[in-house]
Amino acid sequence: MIDENWAGLVADGGESFPIIKSTVQFAGKVWSIRTDVLDFDGRLIERDIVMHPGAVAVIAIDDEDRVLLIRQYRHPLGLYIFEPPAGLLDVSGEPPLLTAQRELAEESGYQADSWFTLVDFLNSPGGSSEAIRIYLARDLHVLPGGRLQTGEAEEAFLPRVWVQLDEAKDLVLSGAVSGPTAVAGILAAWAGREMGWSNLRSCDEPWAMRSALLAADRVPLNFNKKELA
User: How many angstroms separate the Cα of 175 from the Cα of each of 169, 170, 179, 190, 205?
Assistant: 10, 9, 10, 16, 31
86-95, 131-140, 174-183: which range is least confident on average?
86-95
The CATH number covering residue 77 comes to: 3.90.79.10
Same domain, 185 and 98: yes
The rounded mean pLDDT for the chain is 91
Q: How far apart are CA 158 and CA 144, in angstroms?
A: 18
Same domain, 96 and 27: no
The residues, any chain, with a CB within 8 Å of residue 123's CB and separated by 6 or more, are: 52, 130, 131, 132, 180
Q: What is the mean pLDDT of residues 5-32?
A: 92
227 within a domain of the structure (yes/no) = no
Say whether 155 is catalytic.
yes
Same domain, 114 and 178: yes
Same domain, 101 and 168: yes
pLDDT at residue 111 is higher than 80: yes
Q: Dihedral of CA 166/115/89/121: which sign?
A: negative
Residue span of the structural domain in which 31 resides: 14-51
One-letter amino acid identity for 119? V
Per-residue confidence (pLDDT) for residue 228, from 0 to 100? 34
Per-residue confidence (pLDDT) for residue 229, from 0 to 100? 30
- Spot the catalytic one: 155, 194, 205, 227: 155
Same domain, 104 and 47: no
Same domain, 59 and 46: no
210 within a domain of the structure (yes/no) = no
Same domain, 93 and 196: yes
Over residues 150-187, the pLDDT tens digits come to: 666 667 678 999 999 999 999 999 999 999 999 999 99
C-beta neighbour count of 10 within 10 angstroms: 5
Per-residue confidence (pLDDT) for residue 226, from 0 to 100? 37
- The total number of structural domains in the chain stands at 2
1 within a domain of the structure (yes/no) = no
pLDDT at residue 73 is higher than 90: yes
* DSSP string across 69-82: EEEEEETTTTEEEE
213 within a domain of the structure (yes/no) = no
Per-residue confidence (pLDDT) for residue 223, from 0 to 100? 46
Over residues 44-70, the pLDDT tens digits come to: 999 999 999 999 999 999 999 999 999
Same domain, 60 and 145: yes
Per-residue confidence (pLDDT) for residue 151, from 0 to 100? 63
Same domain, 28 and 103: no
pLDDT at residue 92 is higher than 60: yes
